[in-house]
Structure 1
Amino acid sequence: MASGAKGARGTLYRGREGMWSWVAQRVTGVLVFFFLFAHVLDTALVRVSPHTYDQVIGTYKNPIVNLLEVGLVGAVMFHAFNGLRLIAVDFWSKGPKYQRQLLWIVVGVWAVLMIGFLEPMMQHTFHEWFGW
């Protein structure tokens, strides 16, 4: 065990909110990228074969894809709000001092908006697919 790491388990790095926001920013960015890639591909089908395009779009009309859409909205919103927080941390002289508080504001705003978004989106899903 290294000196100064007495009793420490795992790695010496003890990242907190900053580390997790860094990870979440990268993960949400990758998820949005893959969605956009798939979206460009399936939209390009309309020029190649409109019938195939209609079939592909038809496969998206199910509750699982609806849940993925909710996840996409959550990823885009978090990525955007956390990106604004990162801009504030980088360009505001007091940003680094308040980065942790800014992150909790981002998480709070994201959670409130997601709760507001979930109800109509899930109501549509459950009504259309399950008759609730």
Structure 2
Amino acid sequence: MPDNIALKVKMNASHALNYEYFFKSLSPEKTFVKGKLLKEINKSFSSFDNFKSEFKKLALDSKSTWIFLAKNSQNELYLTTSKEISCPIIYKHQIILCLNIDEELYSNKSALVDNFFNFVNWRQASQNYNQNRLLNKIRG
């Protein structure tokens, strides 16, 4: 496949995948993080409150359009941002949850992030954390 077409395919696929994870990251009802995911968040970020603070700070400081909580191949959690052309799965990492932080869509990113944590689907995030099937499929 020519490089210019491959790039367009990657951009569109990444864009679609980001939105799929974004919408699955939301819940109409309040859910709570628990179990393995909470343990790993506390391990990786010192506490759940610190994780939320770091998530918000990165979102507010970023000129990117997405922020992700992701898991690398060593099962370590980390936060990252990206433009629509990219997402952690490209690097063979698992998306746990994500938020669209595009300044063109949202004028108050601070309120957006605060409200996001009221609607995170932690059950889905836990499933994403525990799911290695996608990573194993990508790794071949």
- Structure 1-normalised TM-score? 0.30
Which structure is higher in strand share?
2
Structure label with greater radius of gyration: 1
- Structure 2-normalised TM-score? 0.29
Query: Which is bigger in relative contact order (C-alpha 8 A, separation at least 6)?
Result: 2
Which structure is higher in helix share?
1
